Amino acid sequence: MGLYDAMKDAINLAQKADNIELYRQLLDLSAQALELQAEVTRLQEENTELKKVRNLEADLEYHVDAFVTRKSDVKPIKYCAACWADKKKLVPLQDISWDNYECPLCKARAVDKSQWEERQ
């Protein structure tokens, strides 16, 4: 028997016993139980989102060049480090010129200096 069923049975008993005060208190308790259940659901959803961010954080590789990549990406994609730090959003950077990248969302710029070393 769940909480809802137990409250329903108690309310029915109070109603049959013709005890108005008990009936009101049980209705108040029932409303509080519903509010608590809604809060539990909200917290569970928040917990799920926080776990997703934590798992994603563990998959990120930070670079000196103001971008991040995911370790799990088959082909590395450069993401905006500023958007990740500020909003926890992975926004792919756009290649605007030779080794220069720009975030389409926040307009932050990054340079991939590692490619310079490969060319020399």
Q: What is the pLDDT of residues 17-45, one digit of tens each?
A: 777 788 778 888 888 888 999 999 999 99
Supply the pTM of this predicted model: 0.66
User: Is 115 found in the same domain as 74?
Assistant: yes
User: Is 31 found in the same domain as 67?
Assistant: no
Which two three-digit tokens encode residue 12? Answer: 């029915």
Closest to 13 in 3D by CA, of 25, 1, 82: 25
- Of the three residues 32, 52, 72, the one that is the final residue of a domain is 52
User: Is 114 found in the same domain as 72?
Assistant: yes
- Provide the domain limits for residue 100: 63-119
Which amino acid is present at 2? G
- The total of structural domains in the chain comes to 2
User: In the β-sheet with 100-102, what is the strand arrangement from edge to edge?
Assistant: 94-97, 100-102, 109-111
User: Is 73 found in the same domain as 112?
Assistant: yes
Helices 3-16 and 20-59 cross at an angle (nearest 10°) of: 170
Beta pairing, strands 60-62 & 109-111: unpaired
User: Is 105 found in the same domain as 67?
Assistant: yes
